[in-house]
A and B are shown apart, each in its own frame.
Chain A
Amino acid sequence: DVQMTQSPSSLSASVGDRVTITCRASQDIWKYLHWYQQKPGHAPNLLIYAASNLQSGVPSRFSGSGSGTDFTLTVSSLQPEDFATYYCQQTYSDRTFGQGTKVEIK
């Protein structure tokens, strides 16, 4: 099984901060890494697919990069609505989610 490890597990940030979340796969997953945002009481929402492609309707302050085993989600300027939990997911072999990164208000 492909294991996904996110870091950090939580972070505190202020509105306007640049935030970076990393995701590491236990084996090469090429570009098959996707990012989701989840707010309490809601289903996850797709932000980035195939490592670096912005899903339609998602603000351009979100971006993704990486390939192979190491990937990054960046929020260039954190907005109040971005405080949520973020998950990475691989679809190279079966599907596996990371354990999540909770972004909280400082």
Chain B
Amino acid sequence: QVQLVQSGAEVEKPGASVKVPCKASGYTFINYDINWVRQATGQGPEWMGWMNPSSGDTGYAQKFQGRVTMTRDTSTTTAYMELSSLTSEDTAIYYCARSGFGANSWFDYWGQGTLVTVSS
């Protein structure tokens, strides 16, 4: 069965970076995009960007351009999202989600989420 497994929680200081892994299994990793979505407490989901695991191509939401990097390791079928220059505003649950390509890219499987807390 398709699974996206994420680490439990990360605590970082303001100004630091965080790198969140997402381990995929149960399907051919390179055949679907991986998206990253974050959700602050009591807020709606916020899309951060997508990555094509086959080519490594990425597309980032304008809000996160210059601060987010999405990468992958095809040998371990793991996707990564790194966010830099953290502030308290970045405290949220970060989800990875699988999708098709282009406009037909609804998110059919999601990871369980990683809580990132930014605190001094």
Q: Which residues of A contact B (CB under 8 A)?
A: 1, 30, 32, 34, 36, 38, 43-46, 49-50, 55, 87, 89, 91-92, 94-100
Contacts and interface: CB of A to CB of B under 8 A. Distances in A.
Dominant SS among interface residues on chain A: loop
Contacts of B45: 36, 38, 44, 87, 89, 97
Contacts of A92: 103
A26 B3 CA distance: 34
Interface of B: 35, 37, 44-47, 50, 59, 61-62, 95, 97, 99, 103-108, 110-113
Given A32-B103, A43-B113, A1 B62 contact: yes
Contact of A91 (B106, B110, B113): B106
A95 to B, nearest CB: 4
